[in-house]
Amino acid sequence: MAPAVPSAMDRPHLIGIGGAGMSGIAKILAMRGARVAGSDSRDSATADALRGLGATVHIGHAAEHLAADASCVIVSSAIRADNPELAAAAERGIPVIHRSDALAALMEGLRPIAVAGTHGKTTTTSMLAVALTTLGREPSYAIGGDLDAPGSNALHGDGEIFVAEADESDRSFHKYAPEVAVVLNVELDHHANYASMEEIYESFQIFADRVRPGGTLVISADQPGARELTARVTAGGTPGRDLRIVTYGEAEDADVRIVTIKPRGLTSEVTVVFDGRVITFTVSVPGRHYAGNAVAALVAGTALGLPVHNLASALGSYTGVKRRLQLQGTVNGVQVIDSYAHHPTEIAADLEAIRGSAGDGRVLVVFQPHLFSRTQELGIEMGEALTLADSSVVLDIYPAREDPVPGVTSALIIDAATAKGADVRAEHAMEAVPELIAGMARPGDLVLTMGAGDVTELGPRILARLGS
């Protein structure tokens, strides 16, 4: 029996309904029977998918888009206070609900797995969603990216498990009370909201403390920030609190230890020791980073009682999520792959993974920095990560929700990469990139479009130019 829609959300209006997080909530609400409406700045395939579920989607933001009988307005932290629909809600006394509160309400009465970490959340959540579906568990899920089609980032399932990506960027993951919490890694990011690593640790510790009594914290034994968090949770836990902690990774002291990761082209074969048993399974994405995500998913699923061998086999059903090392196509021997990587650790991990699949070919990168604040804090590290490519083209900064910061440009990244001997060049016009890459690439090369902004749109254009 489907969980009921909270009465406050039976006629919701979602501002920014086409976004990754908001569209997932809209989809689940619509599938549970709510009369969903909302608005977005531009039309999209995701908006069309929501319309197919009966949602009303307005393009553009205007006070008149807010229906007279709307029961609530749902917003994310990206919605500015001067949004006309948000202002209209205030004038009319319509309750405003944050996206995280809406997601928390949708999890009530179910067995939630919340996946957190600076990197890898979308991939790990997707792996769990696909594996649980393969095993016939009919999970509900909310992911920060599409699995195989627009609007496939969320689903209402009839099973008891709800898998959710838990976003630390605005501390909204403090709202959830999962039965299983996963922490993949803990690093400094989201500089507009966190001033120091100490604040990051405090935030993740609050998340860990939200695990339900008798629940499980699954956490990396390899990543330094995760190990520090484990020490803090262990030392500072509530007296008598019933929390099981399970660590995973290549470290000798990991509870679930990764023994080998063998590359097999764009896949990997992973062997782990789990409760004294040796288990080998296939991960359909390359590299250590993604293998670690798969093992985290394996441990999280078994924490809810799923048989480990069945789950390991089902994880092989996962074939990727859009923008996470997603093959866009191959033309004249040149593969074009799209990567969402935008933090230095992610950039390095994806480049190392692709390097293992490139053989004798070169790795060519088109990188678009994401956010002025991130570039200001991590631009040097981004440039150093790009040294793992054979050649890189760096675009202008994608601002997203931010205003420009004086003196902060892509030159910070280019200068850092050049200082380390990398072959890097600037390109200010996105429309010039396909021609530029076509002149650089030769058969056997791998081209990565990389970043969290609209650089993803370049893949098809590059393929078209390579083919002409």
Task: Please give the positions annotated as active site.
Answer: 121-122, 165
280 carries a ligand binding annotation = no
Three-state DSSP class for 365? strand
Nearest to 411 by CA among 398, 397, 400, 421: 397
125 carries a ligand binding annotation = no
Q: How far apart are CA 407 and CA 400, in angstroms?
A: 18
121 carries a ligand binding annotation = yes
Q: Is 252 left (phi over 0), alpha (psi -120 to 50) or beta?
A: alpha
123 carries a ligand binding annotation = yes
Q: Are 414 and 424 in contact (CB under 8 A)?
A: yes
- Beta-carbon neighbour count of residue 238 at 10 Å? 9
Token readout for 15 is 């501002």
Token readout for 343 is 């933090």
What is the per-residue DSSP string for 302-354?
HHTT--HHHHHHHHTT----TTEEEEEEEETTEEEEEE---SHHHHHHHHHHH
Which parts of 41-155 are beta strand (E)? 56-59, 72-75, 96-98, 111-116, 140-142, 154-155
Q: Pairing between strand 154-155 and 140-142?
A: antiparallel
Whole-number Cα distances in Å, 86 to 47, 401, 428, 455: 20, 17, 35, 30
276 carries a ligand binding annotation = no
Q: How far apart are CA 249 and CA 273, in angstroms?
A: 10
Q: How far apart are CA 367 and CA 254, in angstroms?
A: 35
Q: How far apart are CA 133 and CA 117, in angstroms?
A: 23
Q: Is 423 left (phi over 0), alpha (psi -120 to 50) or beta?
A: beta
Q: Are 319 and 135 in contact (CB under 8 A)?
A: no
265 carries a ligand binding annotation = no
DSSP for residue 348: H
120 carries a ligand binding annotation = yes
Q: How far apart are CA 147 and CA 323, in angstroms?
A: 10
Three-state DSSP class for 50? helix
Q: How many CA atoms lie within 13 A of 376 on its CB side?
A: 14
Token readout for 307 is 């048989």
Q: How far apart are CA 82 and CA 125, in angstroms?
A: 33
Strand ranges of the sheet holding 424-426, from the earlier edge strand across to the other edge: 324-331, 334-339, 446-450, 363-367, 391-394, 424-426
- Known binding-site residues for ATP equal 117-123
- Known binding-site residues equal 117-123
